[in-house]
Amino acid sequence: MIIDIVTVVPGLLEGPFSHSILQRAQTKGIVEIRVHNLREYGNGKHKNVDDYQYGGGSGMVMMIEPFVNCLEHLQKDTNYDEVIFLTPDGETLKQSMANELSLKGNLLMLCGHYKGIDQRIREHFVTKEISIGDYVLSGGELAAAVLVDSIVRLIPGVLSDETSALSDSFQDGLLSPPVYTRPADFRGLKVPEILIGGNTPEVEKWRFEQAIARTKERRPDLL
């Protein structure tokens, strides 16, 4: 899978992809994540990528031409299954959406900045608009990093224990049960006895009950 990300602030995306699981996924050749600076496709001497909005009002709007120049350049070598625009008024990211996107070939993600992007980009070039939640970020970059992580960890071969993505919270519609590690007793704070006995069916039953109880208490909307 190739994931191309188009942004005016590439520096915001330098960290998230060069560590841990996302780094390993790239080293293994399972995914290629490429960050593109929209400014390289900007207009004129100053490589402008934004302009005042028609009709007046404060805030700059990202122009259509630099984006289309960038898209057409990238499309010479890469076909995209989805062109995603990260925006707070998009469809809210859910595990089911990450699951679906992890099965795709190549993805292009466009990060908005300033007041927004020219509506014609959204109507004619974007195929999917995604938000990561009901709050406002300064731009789409951190949302793109969240989206990429949620997708890439689901691709077979990325996680070493392939079953572990399946036991994540939300994957079965339930929150995860509590987990413990050594010591069994830390200053009187004890690990539940049932986990120590080695009775696997009993442990599984306990975990399921805990997952139900936790979901009921914290996210009854999921049940």
Task: Give the DSSP letter of residue 191.
Answer: P
Binders in 142-181 for ligand 6GU, by CB under 6 A:
143
CB of 112 to ligand 6GU, least distance (A): 6
Q: Do residues 45 and 39 make contact, with C-beta atoms less than 8 angstroms apart?
A: no
Alpha carbon 15 to its chain centroid, in Å, reads 14
The alpha helices in the chain, defined as continuous H runs, are 20-27, 64-75, 95-102, 119-124, 141-152, 193-196, 200-218
Q: Report in angstroms how near the CB of residue 146 gets to ligand 6GU at its nearest.
A: 8
Place of tokens 């496709």: 41
Residue 98 touches ligand 6GU, criterion: CB under 6 A: no
Total residues at the site for ligand 6GU (CB under 6 A)? 12
- CA-nearest of 38, 46, 130, 36 to 83 is 130
Strands 2-7 and 32-37: parallel
Residue 135 binds ligand 6GU, judged by CB under 6 A: yes
Nearest to 221 by CA among 170, 167, 151: 170
Q: For the CB of residue 110, give the shortest distance to ligand 6GU in the complex, in Å.
A: 10
Burial 74-100 (b: 16+ CB within 10 A, else e): beeeeebebbbbbbbebeebeeebbee
Our finding on whether 136 is near ligand 6GU (CB under 6 A) is yes
Q: Contact between 54 and ligand 6GU (CB under 6 A)? A: no
Single residue of 88, 125, 176, 214 touching ligand 6GU by CB under 6 A: 88
Minimum CB distance to ligand 6GU smaller for 31 or for 146: 146
Q: Which of 139, 195, 206, 219 binds ligand 6GU (CB under 6 A)?
A: 139
Nearest to 50 by CA among 137, 115, 141, 5: 115
Stretch touching ligand 6GU by CB under 6 A, among 51-59, 101-109, 127-135, 193-201:
127-135
Compare residues 33 and 159 and give the one whose CB is closer to ligand 6GU.
33
Between 10 and 88, whose beta carbon lies closer to ligand 6GU? 88
Nearer to ligand 6GU, 102 or 131 (CB): 131
User: Which residue, chain included where needed, has tokens 């499309």?
Assistant: 75
Under rule CB under 6 A, residue 87 binds ligand 6GU: yes
Q: Using CB under 6 A, list all residues that contact ligand 6GU.
A: 86-88, 131-133, 135-137, 139-140, 143
